[in-house]
Amino acid sequence: MRVLLVEDSPRVASVVIALLRKAGHAVAHAATRGEGLAETARAPVELAIVDVGLPDGSGLDLCRELRASGHAFPILLLTARNGVDDRVAGLDAGADDYVGKPFASSELLARVRALGRRGPRWTESKKSFGDVTIDRERRTAFRGDRALLLTPREFDVVALLAWRNGRVVPRDELLEMVWGSASEREAASLEVLVSRIRRKFGSKNPDDVVRTIRGTGYAWSLGRSNPT
């Protein structure tokens, strides 16, 4: 998972970066609110860890700006203020969770894993790709006027890939988010499930709907969504 860390303390940043990289995450670091915003424009972010106290503004302001810009990735706040009012203010600003300073390494990584499984906030209930429509609220996919009979897990995979708008989702991340485990048994189940999805969408080419990126994961291949 690609994580953006917005933290101005070199000491705290070095500790968090080392923890995340050891856990297998790619990390981009920004020391200010402005650098954090610029980083989200430069490359896709899948989770952000934001310090509340930044030299050029509050981390809460950064949360609000990210949400107002349409960014749906989970946001984890780092804060030395652990009062109820402070936690409520963070959630109201668009954060998904918080960790109080000082924090235990195991707790930080556990919260990162939990938010990674949760995935992005759904900012839209429906997406259309040509004649294909994915309706998250009704948990139904349509091709033209025909409803596709997807199982709950098939729909979860379709929705997760579709809402990434063509970005590659690593296999292990997809497994953790849908199955809660990335074992070899679940990996084999995912391959079968992707084949069924392609068949139900009427795909003649294996990469028409879901593209396999060998050794990496999967991506939605119907292009970016049309306004609905």
CATH number reported for the structural domain that contains residue 111 in this entry = 3.40.50.2300
In a domain, 113, yes or no: yes
Number of structural domains the chain divides into: 2
In a domain, 225, yes or no: no
Same domain, 7 and 88: yes
Task: Please give the average per-residue pLDDT across 3-29, as a whole number.
Answer: 94
Check residue 32 and give its pLDDT: 95
Nearest to 93 by CA among 115, 71, 117: 71
Neighbours of 52 (CB within 10 A): 22
State the average pLDDT for the chain. 85
Residue finishing a domain among 87, 118, 149: 118
Claim to verify: residue 11 and residue 81 sit in the same structural domain? yes
Q: What is the CATH number of the domain that holds 183?
A: 1.10.10.10
Report if residue 17 sits inside a domain.
yes
pLDDT digits (tens, 9 = 90+) for 196-206: 999 999 877 77
**Domain edge (last residue) among 62, 97, 118:** 118
Of 118, 152, 183, the one marking the end of a domain is 118
Q: Are 36 and 95 found together in one domain?
A: yes
State the residue range of the domain holding 55.
2-118
Categorize the per-residue pLDDT at 84 as very low, low, confident or very high, splitting at 50, 70 and 90: low
What are the pLDDT digits (tens) for 123-172?
567 888 888 999 877 888 999 889 998 998 898 899 888 887 788 888 88
Its pTM surpasses 0.85: no
Please tell me the distance from the alpha carbon of residue 225 to that of residue 127, in angstroms, as a whole number: 6
Residue 73 is given by DSSP the state S
